[in-house]
Structure 1
Amino acid sequence: MATQQSAELEKHDAHAHHATDPHAEPSEAWGWHGEFPRATRAAGWICAAIMFIMLIGNHKGWNENVWLIVLGSGMVGILLLDKVRRRTSWRR
């Protein structure tokens, strides 16, 4: 009897580590957590545009401008790479 209770306590402790119940959220088993890919891409383009818009301002040196150009170009590059990979993913 004592071993059965300890086994149930261990099983209960194992489930206590998870924040969500897998039975309540069956999608957790296959990894979907409510992502919004279109909104994420739109936010990326908006952030990249804001980086370039921030070039207009009262900068005294080029240090700020270099960082804005590099970060904005990096964002655009990642977004374009994502677009190409989504287009060609069905061909593989």
Structure 2
Amino acid sequence: RDNKNKLNEKLILGIALASKNNGQVFFELKGIIKEFFGKIGLVDYLMPEMADGNNYLQSNEVLKIESDGAVIGYLGGVNKSFVKGDAALAEIDLDALL
């Protein structure tokens, strides 16, 4: 909430991808995000590893998404203890892009 008691809402794109088989869902989702960025003309971005992930994400499959020095989202493989098969998810702050 801001000073006038109005809600500050962000436009966030959430993406989830899953497979019953243990595949390469994390890398497939990373490719989808790269293709999306290409379609909207975003070429100046980085996807470095995140030092601190969440307990629901695989520690070796967590990337933050940065553009113009700001974190605009993250991408991660879902921890195997939470899902059967393979799953990955991402969140991207569309307000930061548009």
Shorter chain as denominator, the TM-score bin is under 0.3
Quick one: higher RCO (CA 8 Å, sep 6+), 1 or 2? 2
TM-score, normalisation: structure 2: 0.21
TM-score, normalisation: structure 1: 0.22
Say which structure is richer in strand.
Answer: 2
For the pair shown, which has the larger CA radius of gyration, 1 or 2?
Answer: 1
